[in-house]
C-alpha cells in the first residue's frame, strides 16, 4: 500500500506483478494504470488530515486482500519561508499533513501487521529529517518529528516481525518543488539566509535527484532479505549533507562531555539517597 508523490513506484510494482492498493485523495486517481492493471491495482480515497478517514481507508485496504507486506508512506509537502512569516493556519496544516497524518497511518496499520505477524513500513522522510535549511523550519520540524516517532515505534513493533526504514531523499525532480506552499515575505528578512534559500529555489538550486532511480533503490530495499536498515539516504548531496551534520553533532557532543557527566549525582551522593 503506498501513497507516492508520483505514479512511478506504483507502475514499477505493477509491472513486475505486484498487487498495489493505492491511497489517494480521489478514487479516480491513476485511471490509466487502473485500466492497464485492473486485477492488480485498487485505489482507495482518503483525507490524510482526517484521522477517521485514514483509519477507515487502512481497514478497507486490509479487507481487500489477504496480506499486505509493504507499506510506503510518502504523504507530505514543503513550506518555504522564515518561521516568523508562517501563519497559524500554515503551521497547523503542514503539521497535520506531514506529521500527524503519517503518525495516524502507522497507528492504523500496526494492528493489521501484528495480526499477520509481520510486514515492512518504508516511511519517506527527507534529508531534512537529519539536517535543516533556513527557510524550511516547519518542514524540518515535521520530518524530524516523524523520524523520532519511527525510531521509537520500530522498537515497539520489532517483537511482532514489523520492520521500519526511514527513507531520506535529497532534493529530487518531482512535483514537490513546484507545489511548495509559501509564506508572505517580511521585509526584515530580505537578504538573510531564509531569503537566500527562497531565491535559490527560483532558479540557482541544481536538483540532481532522479525519482526513478530513487524508487528503484526503495524497491530493492523492500525486497532484501534480513533486517532493514533504520535509514536509507538517497542522493549524493543528501549523503554529504547528512554525514557532515552527524559529524558536527558528534564533535559538539564530545566537547561537552565533562559538562554532561558533571550533571549526574556522584556515586557517593547516590549511595546516600
Residues 6+ apart with CB under 8 A from 59: 108
Please identify which residue in the block is written with the cell numbers 510506503. Answer: 72
Residues 6+ apart with CB under 8 A from 44: 21, 22, 23, 24, 27, 57, 60, 61, 64
Does the annotation count 269 as an active-site position?
no
Does the annotation count 204 as an active-site position?
no
**β-strand partners of 44:** 23
* Share of the chain residues as helix, strand and coil, in percent rounded to the nearest 5: 55, 15, 30
Instruction: Please identify which of the residues 73, 125, 133, 189 carries the catalytic annotation.
Output: 125
How many beta carbons lie within 10 A of that of residue 236, not counting itself? 11
Instruction: Please identify which of the residues 102, 126, 133, 143 carries the catalytic annotation.
Output: 143
- Torsion, Cα 32 35 41 42, to 10 degrees, reads 90
Instruction: Please identify which of the residues 102, 126, 133, 139 carries the catalytic annotation.
Output: 139
Does the annotation count 143 as an active-site position?
yes
Please identify which residue in the block is written with the cell numbers 531565491. Answer: 199
Catalytically annotated residues: 125, 139, 143
Amino acid at each position: 500500500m503506498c501513497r507516492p508523490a508520483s505514479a512511478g513506484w506504483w507502475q514499477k510494482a505493477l509491472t513486475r506483478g505486484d498487487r498495489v492498493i493505492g491511497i489517494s485523495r480521489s478514487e479516480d486517481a491513476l485511471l490509466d494504470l487502473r485500466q492497464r492493471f485492473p486485477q492488480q491495482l485498487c485505489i482507495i480515497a482518503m483525507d490524510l488530515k482526517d484521522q477517521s478517514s485514514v483509519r477507515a481507508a487502512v481497514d478497507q485496504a486490509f479487507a481487500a486482500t489477504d496480506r499486505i507486506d509493504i507499506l510506503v508512506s510518502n504523504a507530505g509537502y514543503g513550506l518555504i519561508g522564515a518561521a516568523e512569516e508562517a501563519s497559524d493556519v500554515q503551521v497547523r496544516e503542514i503539521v497535520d499533513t506531514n506529521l500527524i497524518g503519517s503518525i495516524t497511518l502507522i497507528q492504523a496499520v500496526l494492528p493489521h501487521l501484528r495480526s499477520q505477524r509481520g510486514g515492512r513500513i518504508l516511511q519517506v522522510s527527507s534529508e531534512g529529517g537529519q539536517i535543516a535549511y533556513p527557510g524550511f523550519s516547519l518542514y524540518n520540524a515535521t520530518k524530524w518529528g516523524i523520524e523520532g516517532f519511527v525510531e521509537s515505534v520500530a522498537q515497539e513493533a520489532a517483537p511482532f516481525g514489523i520492520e521500519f526504514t526511514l527513507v531520506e531523499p535529497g532534493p529530487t525532480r518531482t512535483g514537490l518543488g513546484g507545489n511548495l506552499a509559501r509564506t508572505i515575505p517580511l521585509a526584515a528578512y530580505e537578504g538573510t539566509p531564509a531569503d537566500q534559500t527562497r531565491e535559490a529555489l527560483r532558479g540557482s538550486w541544481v536538483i540532481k535527484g532522479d525519482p526513478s532511480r530513487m524508487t528503484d533503490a526503495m524497491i530493492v530495499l523492500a525486497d532484501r532479505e534480513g533486517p532493514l536498515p533504520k535509514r536509507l539516504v538517497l542522493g549524493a548531496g543528501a549523503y554529504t549533507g547528512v554525514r557532515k551534520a552527524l559529524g558536527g553533532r558528534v564533535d559538539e557532543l564530545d566537547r561537552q562531555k565533562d559538562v554532561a557527566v558533571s550533571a549526574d549525582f556522584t556515586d557517593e551522593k547516590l549511595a546516600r539517597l
